[in-house]
Amino acid sequence: MNLTKLLPAGLAALVLAACQKAPEPYMTLETKTLALEQAGGTAVVSMSSNVYYRVNNDCHDSNGNYWARITDSKSEGDVTWFTFEVDGNSSSEVRTGTVRFIGDGVTPLKLTLTQDRVVPKGIDPISMSAGYSVTESVFRVYGDGAWTAACNDPDVTVMPSSGLGESEIRVTFPENADLTDRTINVDVAIEGDRTYRHVISQGRYAGIVADWDLNNMVGEITATFIDGSDQTEFPGTNGKYLNASSGSGKIEYYACSREGYSKNKFVCMRSVGANGDPYVSGSVPGDWWYITADYRKLTIPAGTKVKFYFVTKFGTATSGYWMLEYLEGEEWKPALPVSSRSESATKAISGAAVSYSQEIRYNFAGLLLDSSRNGAYMAVEGTFTTAADMDSIVLRFGQAGHLCLDGSKNDGLYIDQTQSGGQSRFSAQRPSKEDGTAVKTYDQHVTIEFAE
């Protein structure tokens, strides 16, 4: 704001005349700071000067609206009294601004205006949302009166529980291990006012439901999953399983009837690699890996996001197109987006002539090959949301196509035979590089978890 626009022309001339008479140029302010009340009003500040000067007003908000303005000025000799008109401050934050006086041949002066804030009433914030693992909330009590704070949940601590005037309250509470959202209410009674409520909305549990730490489970996998010889009873799991290393869950391999399949070394045999990879030789379309997990025997409510992750590897005599599904009630639903493709063959893996043509549906294409034209290590991961209440999460993963792995030595041959090349596994190894090169780092897990 330029003072020359506020002062009469005669007054400006008077200032110039004073500057000419003064032996030494000077400019001084009555005060460098001006404390203003929240309600606003008027304030007067004097300045003595014998030089020509300009006034720049920076007391405005981010939109350029001035909250303090010079509305009048009166001079007597070298002294000028400036009248400020100040708007009320409706914010709960103290605001500051500056007015600069820039004179010829002298050091510029700065007047800092500081205006009190509105003292809020009650509490702030009124509410907060927290994830299941958040265990603390902080809010403020405002006003000048005495107050008390309390929560009727014995697992919740409120500190402090009483005080006088504006204060900070810290609320601590445990993680939410339940599958339903949790509400925590903290009531604050302010003397001379009323009772306010701070509401904490804590989300339901989101985290690991079941985890198989494969590399560290070699001994257990050997004891519960390995077959002594080929499976002889079909269909079924042959009584073999793999319990979760943490949480509650089980991995099983279900072998369908082998009717119509010839045998080449293996019918169906469960084994484990040196680094904890459970795998099956003699896998055929119609077989399924089953992954089951439950959480503390609680009902898993509709609307729960379920995240899954594992690493797999296919043999040359399995399909490269697989389907991953989850069980909802009596219906199997795809756990990943579904695609379709047509496949056909005139020759089988056994060498027999066939006439096969089919449209297949799949949601995982494991077509990456290693340097030996075997399937590479690939991550299978994703998230789905339940539409109905469940007692447990059940996934199944099986071949969707009937032709051998694309690009392998058995590429395009119809699967009519069980053999060692019909291999399917969960892996303790990290996913391969983009060119199929194995990483050879064995720290992989099979995980089922609830996502936020």
Whether the predicted pLDDT of 278 surpasses 60: yes
Determine the distance from the C-alpha atom of residue 436 to the mean position of all C-alpha atoms in its chain, rounded to a whole number.
31
Q: Which two tokens stand for residue 326?
A: 């989850």
Contact 43, 123 (CB under 8 A): no
Whether the predicted pLDDT of 117 surpasses 60: yes
Report which DSSP code applies to 287.
Answer: B
Residue whose C-alpha is closest to residue 67's, from 33, 29, 6, 114: 114
Whether the predicted pLDDT of 421 surpasses 50: yes
Q: Beta strand pairing status for 79-86 and 122-124?
A: unpaired
Whether the predicted pLDDT of 118 surpasses 90: no
Compute the half-sphere exposure of residue 83: CA atoms within 13 Å on the CB side of its CA: 10
> What is residue 20's three-state secondary structure?
helix
Contact 424, 310 (CB under 8 A): no
Domains defined along the chain, listed by start:
3-115 (2.60.40.10), 122-202 (2.60.40.10), 208-451 (2.60.120.260)
Whether the predicted pLDDT of 114 surpasses 80: yes
Whether the predicted pLDDT of 10 surpasses 90: no
Cα gap 98→108, rounded to integer Å: 12
Which of these ranges, 112-126, 202-216, 248-262, 269-283, has the smallest mean pLDDT? 112-126
Beta carbons within 10 angstroms of residue 109's beta carbon: 18
- What pLDDT does 23 receive? 65
Determine the distance from the C-alpha atom of residue 452 to the mean position of all C-alpha atoms in its chain, rounded to a whole number.
7
What are residue 207's phi and psi, to 5 degrees? 170, -165
Whether the predicted pLDDT of 210 surpasses 60: yes
Whether the predicted pLDDT of 12 surpasses 60: no
The confidence band for 92, taking pLDDT boundaries of 50, 70 and 90, is confident
Q: Which two tokens stand for residue 97?
A: 């601004």
- What pLDDT does 9 receive? 38
Whether the predicted pLDDT of 398 surpasses 50: yes
- What pLDDT does 143 receive? 86
Q: Which residue has the tokens 């605001």?
A: 95
Which of these ranges, 2-11, 73-82, 149-158, 365-374, has the smallest mean pLDDT? 2-11
- What pLDDT does 186 receive? 98
Contact 202, 184 (CB under 8 A): yes
Cα gap 234→268, rounded to integer Å: 10
The confidence band for 21, taking pLDDT boundaries of 50, 70 and 90, is low
The confidence band for 5, taking pLDDT boundaries of 50, 70 and 90, is very low
Contact 99, 47 (CB under 8 A): no
> pLDDT tens across 119-149, in order?
778 999 999 999 999 999 999 999 889 999 9
Global confidence as pTM: 0.74
Mean pLDDT of 234-259: 97
> What is residue 19's three-state secondary structure?
helix
Cα gap 187→171, rounded to integer Å: 11
The whole-chain average pLDDT of the chain stands at 93
Whether the predicted pLDDT of 288 surpasses 70: yes
Q: Which two tokens stand for residue 123?
A: 């509490």
The confidence band for 2, taking pLDDT boundaries of 50, 70 and 90, is very low
Burial 321-353 (b: 16+ CB within 10 A, else e): bbbbbbbbeeeeebbbeeeeeebebeebbbeee
Beta carbons within 10 angstroms of residue 153's beta carbon: 14
Whether the predicted pLDDT of 383 surpasses 70: yes
Q: Which residue has the tokens 């005349």?
A: 17
Mean pLDDT of 206-219: 97
> pLDDT tens across 331-375, in order?
999 999 999 999 999 999 999 999 999 999 999 999 999 999 999
Task: Give the Å distances, CA to CA, from 144 to 71, 121, 162, 167.
Answer: 35, 9, 13, 10
Which of these ranges, 9-23, 150-164, 171-185, 355-369, has the smallest mean pLDDT? 9-23
Whether the predicted pLDDT of 18 surpasses 50: no
Q: Which two tokens stand for residue 300?
A: 């898993």
Q: Which residue has the tokens 């063959």?
A: 345
**CA Rg value for the chain:** 39
Contact 405, 417 (CB under 8 A): no
> pLDDT tens across 35-77, in order?
999 999 999 999 999 999 999 999 999 999 999 999 999 999 9
> What is residue 4's three-state secondary structure?
helix
Q: Which two tokens stand for residue 426?
A: 């969960």
Mean pLDDT of 159-169: 96
